[in-house]
Every structure is written in structure tokens, then in C-alpha cells.
């Protein structure tokens, strides 16, 4: 096997990162909802369990902030490229921010909408 064939095979192995992330998020959400149902009001919880939940929350927020920053950078780059090609920057922002791919389809938003209707 040539080196370039090995690299190509290795690269093809990682072609569904978003699907894997979504699967992990669904598992996290399901587990969190089940845990929320198990915990009674005013129930004492072991300190180690509280700490683990705090770490999970911190990690989720860190990843969410990273992805949001990457998307904002990509949007700013797209707006700058569009503006430099003759379109107005304001028009590019208005069309890009108007519910682009992924906006409004978050599994977290669906959960919040479901709870709001109850």
C-alpha cells in the first residue's frame, strides 16, 4: 500500500463527524432527561456526582462556544468575500442570518418548544 492510499483511506474513515456528534448529543439529552426525572426535589446528591455534572456542563459549553465561534468566523469571512465581490455587506448578512442551514433545527430548540407547550 502506498502512503497516499493509506492517507486517503484514513481520511475517508472520518466522513460523518456531524452525525456522530448528533448521536452523542441525543444520548446526552436522553440521559439528562432521565436523570432529571430520577432526582427528587430537595434530594441530597453525592458530591462526586455533582462535580461530574458540573464538568459535563463545562465541557458542553466549551464545545458549543467553539462551534459558535467557528460559524461566526465563517459567516464573517463569507460576508467579507461577498462584500469584496460587489454585493453590499448588509444584504449578505440579512440573507445569511435568516435561518440558514442548521438554525432552528437544533434538538435543544425542539425540546424547549415541547416543554413550552405543556
Domain ranges (residues) in the chain: 1-43, 45-118
Arithmetic mean of pLDDT over the chain: 77
Question: Under a CB-based contact definition with an 8 Å cutoff, are residues 89 and 79 in contact?
Answer: yes
In the predicted structure, residue 116 carries a pLDDT above the cut 80: no
Q: Check if the beta carbon of residue 28 is closer than 8 Å to that of residue 111.
A: no
Does the pLDDT at position 109 exceed 80?
Answer: no
Q: What is the pLDDT of residues 18-53, one digit of tens each?
A: 999 999 999 999 999 999 999 999 999 999 999 999
pLDDT for the residue numbered 15: 77
The three-class DSSP label of residue 41 is: coil
Regarding pTM above 0.85, the answer is no
Tell which wins on pLDDT, 7 or 68. Answer: 68
Amino acid at each position: 500500500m502506498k502512503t497516499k492510499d493509506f492517507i486517503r483511506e484514513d481520511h475517508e474513515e472520518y466522513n460523518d463527524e456531524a452525525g456522530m456528534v448528533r448521536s452523542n448529543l441525543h444520548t446526552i439529552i436522553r440521559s439528562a432527561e432521565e436523570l432529571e426525572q430520577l432526582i427528587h426535589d430537595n434530594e441530597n446528591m453525592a458530591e462526586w456526582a455533582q462535580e461530574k455534572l458540573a464538568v459535563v456542563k463545562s465541557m458542553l459549553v466549551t464545545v458549543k462556544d467553539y462551534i459558535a465561534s467557528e460559524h461566526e468566523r465563517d459567516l464573517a469571512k463569507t460576508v467579507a468575500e461577498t462584500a469584496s465581490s460587489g454585493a453590499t455587506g448588509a444584504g449578505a448578512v440579512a440573507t445569511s442570518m435568516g435561518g440558514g442551514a442548521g438554525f432552528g433545527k437544533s434538538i435543544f430548540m425542539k425540546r424547549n418548544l415541547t416543554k413550552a407547550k405543556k
